Structures are given as C-alpha cells and as structure tokens.
Amino acid sequence: MKNRKINLSRQLILITVLSLIIMIISLIIVLPKSLEPFFEETVYSYLEQPLQIFEGKSSSKINYENIVYIQYLDEKIYISSNYKSILNVEDYTKILKYINSNRGKFTYKGKIYYYSVNSRRNFDKKIAITNDSYIKAIKRNLFAIVIPIVIVTFSIILVLLLLWSKFIVDKIQKLKLKIDNITDESFSVTENKYELDDELKLLDNTIDKMKEIILSQEKYKSEMYQNISHDFKTPIMVIKSYIEAYNDGIKDSKTVMDISNKEIKKLENKVKTLLELNKITYLQNSYKNDKQIEIQTTIQELIEKYKIINDKLNYQIKCDKQQIMYNGTEEIWESIVDNILNNFIRYAKSEIIITVKENKIIFFNDGENIKEDLLSDIFIPYKKGNKGENGLGLAIVKRNCDLIGYKVFAKNRKNGVEFIISKK
C-alpha cells in the first residue's frame, strides 16, 4: 500500500475539523439528553408562576399565550379559551385523566404535554398545561448561543494551531536540512531561534553535537588511513629500493635479504595489529563477558618474555594476595599487558613495576612524563607520543578494556608514568 503524503499543517487541520464535528454532534445529541431534566424544570417553573395570580371565573376570557389554565371552583370547571389551539382537542376532559400528580408530562396523539397543579382543597385547584413548544424554544435559543460560540472558539484555536504548526514545521525543515547535510563541513543553516527550552531545541543541539562527532570521526578516519598507508608504504619502499640497488650491483644479496626480511616482519606486525583492532570492534556487540582468569599468571609469563627482549630493565610484580581473578579471557589480557609492556620498554629508564590489586592494576615505568595535552588522547589510534612515535598498541589496550568492562587511563608521577586499569 502506498503511503499518502500529508504534511503536518494538513494533518492538524484534519484533526481540528474532526474534533469540531465530534463536538457539534455531542452538542446536538449528548447535550440535549443531559440537559433534559433542566429543561423540564424550567417548564414547570414557567407553568407554576402564573398559577399564583390566576383567578377562576375571568380566566375563560383571557389569552394566556401557549399555556392552558384550568380551575376547579365551586364545583365548576373554568378553562382558558386557547385550549383548542394548544391542546389540539375539542373535548379537554379527555386529557384530564392524564393529570394524576402535582406535576408531570404525558403524551397525547403523539405530542408531549407538561402540566403543573396548584391545589388547596379538592374543589379548589388550578392546573396549567402547555405543549412542548416552550421547551423546544429553550433548546433552540440555547443552541443559537452555544453553537456559534463553539464554532468561533474552534476557529480561533484552528488559527492558533496553524500558526504554531507553521512555526514548528519551519524549524523541523531546518533540522531536516541539518541532518541531510550532516557530513558537509561547509554547510551552515540559519540558526534557529529558540525562545523556549523545548524538545526541538534539544534535538537541534543533539544534531549539532552529532555533526561535530561525525566530522571528528571522519577526520580521524582520514588521518588513520593516511597513517596506515604511510606505515605500509615505508617498508615496501625500503624493500623496493634495496632490490633496485641489488639489480644495479650496489648491494649484495645477503644485505637485501636481511633488510627485506626485517621490513616484512614490520609489515606482518602492522597487519597483525590492524586485524586485532578489527577483531575487537567486531566483538563489541557479541562478546559475553562471562569468563575470569588469574591475572598474576598472565602478567608473570609476559614479564619473562620481556626480560629476554630487554634485560637491562628491572621488572617487579606486587600483588595484594595470592590469587586475584579478573574478568576476560587469557587472550584479551595477554593483548592488554603485552601492548602496555611493549610501550613501556621504549620509555622506561631502569624499571617497570606492576601492582595488582583486587580491582585495579597499576603499570609504572620511570620514564619521562607524558605531555599534559597528550594524556587524554594517548589511547587514540596513531596518536603521536612524546618521541613522535605513533601506532595502534595503546588503542588496542583501550578497546580491550572497554570490551571486558574496565577503564584505562594514564597519569604522570613525579618520577615516571602510570597506566591504571580499574573496573568501571
């Protein structure tokens, strides 16, 4: 089924018109039913007031508009002369049998009549009778007042709603423009003026923040691709240069093979780290953090590895107790600790100390402090460090920690640098 395109203004008009129709129907059907007792009470009051001044014998000569008056006096019955036109009968006695209480109504020949009785004794009572023309007149007068008021009120409301909807639609269209051009850095739209701190202002601010994030991510991706390209291009160019030098007889085959193997290992490591970063990103939505490992064992095994790589540094492990369990798999923690130690051995002067607590691991090296403007960005991929080096190692640490529910941050100390991993 094809969806019908109806703008907000038309929807608003349609809803308002339907509301008006429902209101008018309610006024025509529901309101009269609910006001029926009030109308009848008004008719009875209308009938009873003249009975206070009505006197018998002269009544037959007086026209009492649409009320028929009957009086029992001295065993005689007097009736007003208009009874034939109002009661629509030749013999008024036919309707007296319906009058059996002080007030009420009855139906005669399909028409409704109302009556009221003022009785002082059996042979001295007055009766006032009228048809339903008076009650119909009250209803007509009421609707003649109410219906125009309702229509005028709804018309004013409709105009106000249309003005409001135009105001809202204009803002929504500007918001749509912003969203359509959210990735265009050069695009700008006239700033919406928000006198009220409403949901549209919140949405506008959210779109602006989203644009900043998207543009920032696009810039970051662009820089990352450039860095990756440079990382791959450099070893390839070195290998190519040495092969050309060999062909020109400048370099011997052994030198070319040694350099090529060295550069290929660099490329292999870079591919490995990229695949690892991609793997973590893939696992973010599916990883179940339901495993634990004894963290000291993993750290100790990696320390032994780095003692061989750089035996000039003093490595220490301090633990609060014999066995401390941490969330995550051995593979994830090997990646975290390995990348941190790989970073530390480049900067440490003489020692690396790892302190393992119940809910916190502190990695310390006695190298130079990190520049303050780099502390918060050090775990961003390819962010340059103190020595101008960049890479993906610390980004992998951050992604892995996020994956298993830990946070990691760097902190400068007086005599070195700390990386702290703790539960979120």
Alpha-carbon span 292 to 239, nearest angstrom: 44
Q: Confidence class of residue 174 from pLDDT cuts 50, 70 and 90?
A: confident
User: Is a pLDDT exceeding 90 seen at residue 411?
Assistant: yes
Q: Which range among 147-151, 368-372, 380-384 has the greatest average pLDDT?
A: 368-372
The answer for residues whose C-beta is within 8 angstroms of residue 422's C-beta and 6 or more apart is 359, 360, 361, 406, 407
- The 10s digit of each residue's pLDDT in 202-254 is 888 888 888 888 887 777 777 777 777 777 888 888 889 989 988 988 888 89
Q: Burial, 376: exposed, middle or buried (Cβ in 10 Å; 0-12, 13-18, 19+)?
A: exposed
Average pLDDT, the chain: 82
- The 10s digit of each residue's pLDDT in 41-56 is 888 888 877 766 555 4
pLDDT of residue 388: 45
pLDDT average, residue stretch 394-419:
92
Secondary structure letter of residue 58 according to DSSP: G
Q: Confidence class of residue 1 from pLDDT cuts 50, 70 and 90?
A: very low
Q: Where in the chain is the domain with CATH 3.30.565.10?
A: 292-423
pLDDT of residue 336: 93
- The 10s digit of each residue's pLDDT in 284-341 is 777 888 889 999 999 999 999 888 888 889 999 998 887 889 999 998 999 999 999 9
Alpha-carbon separation of residue 181 from 174, 186, 220 (angstroms): 11, 9, 19
CATH class of 292-423: alpha beta
CB 110, CB 95: distance < 8 Å: no
Q: Confidence class of residue 31 from pLDDT cuts 50, 70 and 90?
A: confident
User: Is a pLDDT exceeding 50 seen at residue 59?
Assistant: no
Tell which wins on pLDDT, 74 or 69: 69
Nearest to 408 by CA among 362, 351, 345, 353: 362
pLDDT of residue 177: 84
What are residue 63's phi and psi, to 5 degrees? -95, 115
Q: Which range among 92-101, 270-279, 404-413 has the greatest average pLDDT?
A: 404-413
Tell which wins on pLDDT, 142 or 231: 142
CB atoms within 10 A of CB 25: 11
Nearest to 88 by CA among 39, 44, 59, 129: 129
Torsion of CA 299, 300, 302, 305, to 10 degrees: 170
pLDDT of residue 144: 83
CB atoms within 10 A of CB 280: 19
Tell which wins on pLDDT, 91 or 294: 294
Q: Confidence class of residue 135 from pLDDT cuts 50, 70 and 90?
A: confident
pLDDT average, residue stretch 256-285:
83
Nearest to 126 by CA among 107, 98, 99: 99
* Range with lowest mean pLDDT among 99-113, 123-137, 323-337, 402-416: 123-137
Alpha-carbon span 171 to 193, nearest angstrom: 9
The answer for residues whose C-beta is within 8 angstroms of residue 193's C-beta and 6 or more apart is none
CB 136, CB 118: distance < 8 Å: no
* Range with lowest mean pLDDT among 5-9, 89-93, 109-113, 135-139: 5-9
User: Is a pLDDT exceeding 60 seen at residue 362?
Assistant: yes
Alpha-carbon span 383 to 394, nearest angstrom: 9
* Range with lowest mean pLDDT among 20-29, 56-65, 163-172, 263-272: 56-65
pLDDT of residue 6: 67
Q: Confidence class of residue 3 from pLDDT cuts 50, 70 and 90?
A: low
User: Is a pLDDT exceeding 60 seen at residue 60?
Assistant: no
Tell which wins on pLDDT, 41 or 59: 41
pLDDT of residue 56: 45
List, in sequence order, every residue forming a beta bridge with 359; answer none if it has no partner.
Answer: none
pLDDT of residue 387: 54
Q: Where in the chain is the domain with CATH 1.10.287.130?
A: 199-283
pLDDT average, residue stretch 14-33:
77
Q: Is 388 helix (H, G, I), strand (E, B) or coil?
A: coil
* Range with lowest mean pLDDT among 137-151, 285-299, 339-353: 137-151
Percentage of the chain exceeding pLDDT 90: 20
User: Is a pLDDT exceeding 80 seen at residue 145?
Assistant: yes
User: Is a pLDDT exceeding 60 seen at residue 389?
Assistant: no
Output the CATH code of domain 199-283.
1.10.287.130
